[in-house]
Amino acid sequence: MALFYLSRAYHSRHQIREIRYDVDISITIGKLFVTYCFDYQYLTGFDMNSPSTKEIIRLENIFKIYGNGETEIQALNNVNLVIEEGEYCAIMGPSGSGKSTAMNIIGCLDRPTNGHYYLDNVDVAQMNDNELAHIRNQKLGFVFQQFHLLTQLTALENVILPMVYAGIKSEERRERAIEALIKVGLEKRLHNKPTQLSGGQQQRVAIARAIVNRPVVLLADEPTGALDSRTTQEVLDIFGELNSSGITVVMVTHETEVARQTKRIVWFRDGQVVNSHLTPNELNQVLVS
258 and 277 in a single domain? The answer is: yes
Same-domain check for residues 9 and 66 = no
Residue 238 lies in a domain: yes
Residue 40 shares a structural domain with residue 171: no
Residue 49 falls inside a structural domain: no
Residue 249 and residue 144 share a domain: yes
Residue 153 CB-density burial (10 A; 0-12 exposed, 13-18 middle, 19+ buried): middle
Residue-number span of the structural domain to which 122 is assigned: 55-287
202 with 86, same domain: the answer is yes
* Phi, then psi, of 174 in degrees rounded to 5: -65, -45
Check whether residue 27 and residue 158 sit in a common domain.
Answer: no
* 167 and 186 share one domain: yes
The reply to whether 50 falls in a domain is no
Q: Which bin fits 271, alpha (ψ -120 to 50), beta or left (φ > 0)?
A: left
- The sign of the dihedral angle between the CA atoms of 190, 195, 198, 201 is positive
Instruction: Kindly state whether residues 180 and 259 are assigned to the same domain.
Output: yes
Per-residue model confidence (pLDDT) at position 169: 94
Per-residue pLDDT of the chain (289 residues; tens, 9 = 90+): 443 333 334 344 444 444 444 444 444 444 444 443 444 343 333 444 444 579 999 999 999 999 988 899 999 999 999 999 999 999 999 999 999 999 999 999 999 999 999 999 999 998 999 999 999 999 999 999 999 999 999 999 999 999 999 999 999 999 999 999 999 999 999 999 999 999 999 999 999 999 999 999 999 999 999 999 999 999 999 999 999 999 999 999 999 999 999 999 999 999 999 999 998 778 877 776 6
Look up the CATH number of the domain holding residue 182. 3.40.50.300
Task: Please give the tally of structural domains in the chain.
Answer: 2
Are 35 and 65 within one domain?
no
Say if CB 208 and CB 173 are below 8 A apart. no
The three state secondary structure string of the chain is CHHHHHHHHCCCHHHHHHHHHHHHHHHHHHHHHHHHHHHHHHHHCCCCCCCCCCEEEEEEEEEEEECCHHHCEEEEEEEEEEEECCCEEEEECCCCCCHHHHHHHHCCCCCCCEEEEEECCEECCCCCHHHHHHHHHHHEEEEECCCCCCCCCCHHHHHHHHHHHHCCCHHHHHHHHHHHHHHCCCCCCCCCCHHHCCHHHHHHHHHHHHHCCCCCEEEEECCCCCCCHHHHHHHHHHHHHHHHCCCEEEEECCCHHHHCCCCEEEEEECCEEEEEEECHHHHHHHHCC
